[in-house]
C-alpha cells in the first residue's frame, strides 16, 4: 500500500472530458444471446443500456475524443503537455503504447512523455497518482490522464456474468498546478492473492493467441462476480473508511463520491456500508454500464459538468479492479 498527501505545490484537475461510441445497446440486445431478458438485467444490475464501439473504432479513438474535450475544458494546448498517460486493459495492440497513439492524435509535442497503465478498472486512479506526483516534482507543465476501454471486443456473448455489465467509453482529465479540484491525498493498494477474480487468459506470453485459444474462448474476459462483491465488502469498504479516517474526514463530510461504476447494486451496498447517502454518489452506470478504466473519469466529468460541484466540496474518487487493485483519491474543490 502507498499513501501520500499534498505537497508544497498544489496539483489538481484543470479540466475533464468524456467520449462514448454512438451505438446504444439495450439490455434486451445484450442479454439475448446470454439467455436473459432485459428486465432480468436491470433487476440484477440497475443498468439500462450501454455503448459499444463500431468495428472501426479502437480504444485510442475513444481516448482521443475524451482527451480533446478535456484539453478544451482546461484551456490547455496539447503542445504544452509534458505527459500523456492512458489507463486501459484493452489497448489498441500489445505495442506500441496506446498513449503514444493518443498523443499523436491530439497533437502533443515531441517532448511529451507517453506510457500506458494497466490496473484494470483502477487504472485511471493509478495514472492520476503518477501524473500528480510528476507534475508536483517538475516544472509544472500539465499532464493528460485518460481512462479508456473497449470491453465489447473481449466479451463472450453467451456469458451473462460479463456481457450484460460492460460498455465502451473514455474519460480524461488534464492535471496541473492549482486546479479546480485539488488533490489532497492518494492511496493505492493491491491484494494480489485475489488476482484470479477477473482476467483474460490468452494473448500474452504465458498463453499466446492461437487457433486453440480462439476455439476454447481463452481470449474472452472472465469474472467471478460473487468474488468481486466479496472483495468490495472485505477490502474496498474498509479501505475507504481507513483512508478517510487517516485524513481526518468522516464519511458524512463527503459532498460527492465518484466510484468505479461496477453496477448499481454494488454501489448502493457500498453507500449503505459507508454511511453515505446514495444521492451523494455520482453515477453513470445506468446509461453506460461498467466502462472499465473509463468509468471513474467519465463519471467525474459528468459530475463537474452538471454544475453540482461548489467551492469547499470534498470529492472522493474510489476505484477497484483486477489484480485486485484499489485506488483512492481525495479532492478538494476551490
Provide the annotated active-site residues. 121, 260, 290
Q: Check residue 323 and give left, alpha or beta (phi > 0: left; psi -120 to 50: alpha).
A: left
Three-state DSSP at 182 gives: strand
3-state helix, strand, coil in the chain (%, to 5): 40, 25, 35
- Between CA 255 and CA 181 the distance in angstroms is 13
- Counting other chains too, the contacts that 39-42 makes at CB distance below 8 Å and 24 or more residues apart are 41/164
What single DSSP character describes residue 232? I
- Counting other chains too, the contacts that 23-28 makes at CB distance below 8 Å and 24 or more residues apart are 23/51, 23/52, 23/53, 23/54, 24/49, 24/50, 24/51, 25/49, 25/50, 25/51, 25/52, 25/167, 27/164
- Between CA 25 and CA 155 the distance in angstroms is 14
Set of cell numbers at residue 218: 481463452
- Specify the length of the chain in residues: 334
Q: How many CB atoms lie within 10 A of CB 209?
A: 13
Q: Which residues pair with 185 in a beta bridge?
A: 5, 330
β-strands 181-190, 11-19 pairing: antiparallel
Cα angle 269, 275, 281 (rounded to 5 degrees) comes to 65
Sign of torsion, CA 88 188 231 208? positive
Amino acid at each position: 500500500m502507498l499513501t501520500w498527501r499534498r505537497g508544497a505545490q498544489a496539483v489538481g484537475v484543470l479540466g475533464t472530458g468524456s467520449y462514448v461510441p454512438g451505438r446504444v445497446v439495450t439490455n434486451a440486445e445484450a442479454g439475448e444471446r446470454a439467455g436473459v431478458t432485459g428486465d432480468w438485467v436491470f433487476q440484477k444490475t440497475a443498468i439500462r443500456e450501454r455503448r459499444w464501439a463500431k468495428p472501426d473504432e479502437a480504444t485510442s479513438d475513444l481516448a482521443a475524443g475524451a482527451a480533446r474535450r478535456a484539453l478544451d475544458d482546461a484551456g490547455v494546448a496539447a503542445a504544452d503537455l509534458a505527459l500523456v498517460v492512458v489507463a486501459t486493459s484493452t489497448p489498441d495492440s500489445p505495442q506500441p503504447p496506446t498513449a503514444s497513439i493518443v498523443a499523436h492524435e491530439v497533437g502533443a509535442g515531441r517532448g511529451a512523455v507517453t506510457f500506458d497503465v494497466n490496473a484494470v478498472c483502477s487504472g485511471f486512479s493509478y495514472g492520476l497518482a503518477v501524473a500528480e506526483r510528476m507534475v508536483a516534482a517538475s516544472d509544472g507543465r500539465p499532464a493528460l490522464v485518460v481512462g479508456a476501454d473497449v470491453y465489447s471486443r473481449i466479451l463472450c456473448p453467451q456469458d451473462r456474468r460479463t456481457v450484460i455489465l460492460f460498455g465502451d467509453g473514455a474519460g480524461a482529465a488534464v492535471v496541473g498546478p492549482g486546479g479546480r479540484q485539488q488533490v489532497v491525498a492518494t492511496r493505492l493498494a493491491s491484494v494480489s492473492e485475489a488476482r484470479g477474480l477477473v482476467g483474460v487468459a490468452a494473448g500474452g506470453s504465458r498463453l499466446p493467441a492461437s487457433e486453440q485459444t480462439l476455439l476454447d474462448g481463452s481470449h474472452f474476459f472472465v469474472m467471478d462476480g460473487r468474488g468481486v462483491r466479496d472483495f468490495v465488502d472485505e477490502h474496498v469498504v474498509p479501505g475507504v473508511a481507513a483512508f478517510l479516517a487517516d485524513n481526518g474526514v468522516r464519511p458524512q463530510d463527503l459532498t460527492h463520491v465518484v466510484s468505479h461504476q461496477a453496477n448499481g447494486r454494488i454501489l448502493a451496498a457500498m453507500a449503505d456500508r459507508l454511511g453515505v447517502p446514495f444521492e451523494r454518489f455520482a453515477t453513470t452506470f445506468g446509461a453506460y454500464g461498467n466502462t472499465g478504466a473509463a468509468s471513474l473519469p467519465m463519471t467525474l466529468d459528468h459530475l463537474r459538468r452538471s454544475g453540482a460541484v461548489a467551492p469547499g466540496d470534498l470529492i472522493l474518487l474510489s476505484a477497484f479492479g483486477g489484480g485486485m487493485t484499489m485506488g483512492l483519491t481525495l479532492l478538494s474543490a476551490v
